[in-house]
Chain A
Amino acid sequence: MAKKATINLLREYLRDKRRDQAVVVRVQLYAGVVLAVYVAIVVGVFSIRAVYVTKFNKTQAAIASEEERIDGLSEVEGKYLVLRAKLQAIADRLATENRMRQYLKDLYQYIPAEVELVSVEVGGNASGLTLQMKAADIFMANKALASFKEAVAKQAYVRTTVSGVSREANGEYSLTISVEVNSGVVEGEE
């Protein structure tokens, strides 16, 4: 009986030991798997970084190469920029000239037939026009001024100034009218 009990005890001990070993193995296995997955993620992160760095370095090399090629074409670039600047300057000049011509054209129609336009001057930086007119008498001069008043009312000029009225020896009246048109827009034009 004692022998049988000893054998049973031994069996139970061995069974418990095997079970313990299985648990130990299982825990270590789980931890190992988790560690392996983590290491794989780390390796993946490093790989992604390596891919980006390689791609960036290649792009930098391509940029350097393109810059070198563009530098070789610097003469063409300089010529093109000069061409562009000159064309822009010409375009601006012509546009200003056409604009001032249009302003003069618009103003001209307000000059009464009896009044003579004898001088036209474009202001500095095309900021305005100065017109000098001659009228046979004070009534004609007044008619011209009234006509210009109408022009001011109809057109969006910045400022219109009668900068001079004088009577000459022969009895003629000389009128000088300055029209500031730089930021004005003529109705129905442009």
Chain B
Amino acid sequence: MIKTKRRLKSSETTLDLVKRKPVVWLFPLLTVMVMVMGTSMVVRPQIAEIISTRKKLAVAEETLDKLVDKRKFLEEMANSSLDQDLEETKRVLPDRKPVYTVVEDLSQELAAHEITLVSYDLSPGGVASEGAVTEEIPRDEGVDPDLAESESQPQVEMEMARLEVSLDMVGTVGRMVEWMERLRTLAPLTSVEAMSFEVDPGEFFGLILASDNQFGQVGAISLGAAEEPAEQIEMQTKMSIYYMPAVTIDQAIGEPLPELEPELKKVLAKLAEYQEYQPLTGEGQQLLPESLGRENVFAY
């Protein structure tokens, strides 16, 4: 009770004091004013800046992580068999139109399978010119981390093209089946678009479809009676020989490179099974334009 009375007395005294000397509150009022003005003019903008910088930092750290991963991946690739793998891939899917391969080696290849090439027809298409070459687009420099999210995926714009060849061949069913199977492991990549016969090809289709091979693996085909030197049949085929010309690289530096999917690794492993056309030997080799110092007019 005594303390309460004293406090009340003291409070009354303080109020009295304020009434008597208002200058007592000058410093506290000044403090409050500094706090209010400082909060609105300094602290709030600073906190907003901190939040903004924190967000930028998170994006920058994410970008840095991606870049580090990408750099490590590229260093790993540089020390791996990338060149060898690329060469192997280019052997199966060349950069340039394989016109001379078809022209020079096809009859030799067919002869090796005891098939007579009656005629062939191909349309090599456009002749190489400067305008036909697609130059590489340089990558963008100095990617703003703020824009990292909107960057496009690194990509190579490449389109597979094909050289169409029509062949008219004569051979036994057995040899034809062998040839068709051979096409499935032939480099450059070749596919049969059409097959037609004037007369019944006998077991041909049955034999062709008998193997359940995948990715060009030649399955065990029982030729049976067809293997015997039977009647010669004439077959017209339309084949597509594939290549992948001009490369346009449009890669964003900040995006990681995707690793090869298992499916692509499987394809890469299988490429070794692809064999090239039987090379010409002797005088025939001189027909190749490079050996004669001539320009490959389709090489672009």
Contact = CB atoms under 8 A, between A and B. Distances in A.
B42 A119 contact: no
B267 A94 contact: yes
Nearest to B266: A91
B134 interface: no
Interface in A81-128: 81-91, 93-94, 97-98, 101, 104-105, 108, 116-122
Interface string B16-51: 010001001101101100110010001100110110
B34 A90 contact: no
Interface in A11-25: 19-20, 23-24
Given A20-B17, A23-B17, A122-B194, A83 B74 contact: no
Contacts of A118: 196-201
B268 A93 contact: no
Interface in B242-287: 242, 244, 247, 249, 251, 253-254, 257-258, 260, 263-264, 267-268, 271
B13 to A, nearest CB: 6
A52 B24 contact: no
Interface string B57-82: 10011011001101100110110001
Interface in A155-184: none
Contacts of B192: 122
Given A31-B31, A86-B244, A97-B191, A70 B67 contact: yes
B25 A27 contact: yes
Contacts of A46: 46
Nearest to B66: A66
Nearest to A123: B193
Interface stretch (B89-97, B122-130, B167-175): B89-97
B205 interface: yes
A176 B249 CA distance: 45
Interface residues of A, number: 67
A149 interface: no
B154 A81 contact: yes
A23 B24 contact: yes
B89 A90 contact: yes
Interface stretch (A2-10, A56-64, A140-148): A56-64
Interface string A126-156: 0000001010000000000000000000000
A188 to B, nearest CB: 14
**Interface residue SS majority, chain B:** helix
Contacts of A80: 74, 77, 82, 257
Given A90-B189, A93-B189, A70 B31 contact: no
A40 interface: no
Nearest to B70: A70
A117 B56 contact: no
A81 B57 contact: no
B149 interface: no
Interface in B181-238: 184, 189, 191-201, 205-206, 209, 214-216, 238
Contacts of B184: 97
A82 B229 CA distance: 46
Interface residues of B, number: 90
A182 to B, nearest CB: 15
Nearest to B155: A81
Given A52-B53, A73-B74, A93 B242 contact: yes
B299 interface: no
B136 interface: yes
B74 A53 contact: no
B145 interface: yes
Given A60-B145, A90-B89, A108-B206, A120 B43 contact: no
29 contacts: A19-B13, A24-B21, A27-B28, A38-B31, A45-B46, A46-B46, A49-B50, A52-B50, A55-B57, A63-B60, A63-B64, A67-B141, A67-B143, A67-B254, A79-B83, A80-B257, A81-B156, A81-B251, A82-B86, A82-B158, A85-B244, A89-B244, A90-B267, A91-B264, A91-B267, A98-B215, A101-B209, A118-B199, A121-B195
Interface of A: 19-20, 23-24, 27-28, 30-32, 34-35, 38, 41-42, 45-46, 48-49, 52-53, 55-56, 59-60, 62-64, 66-67, 69-71, 73-74, 76-91, 93-94, 97-98, 101, 104-105, 108, 116-122, 132, 134
The 6 closest A-B pairs by CB, nearest first: A119-B196, A66-B67, A121-B194, A31-B28, A81-B156, A73-B74
Given A77-B74, A121-B194, 6 more contacts: A23-B14, A31-B31, A59-B61, A79-B82, A80-B82, A83-B82
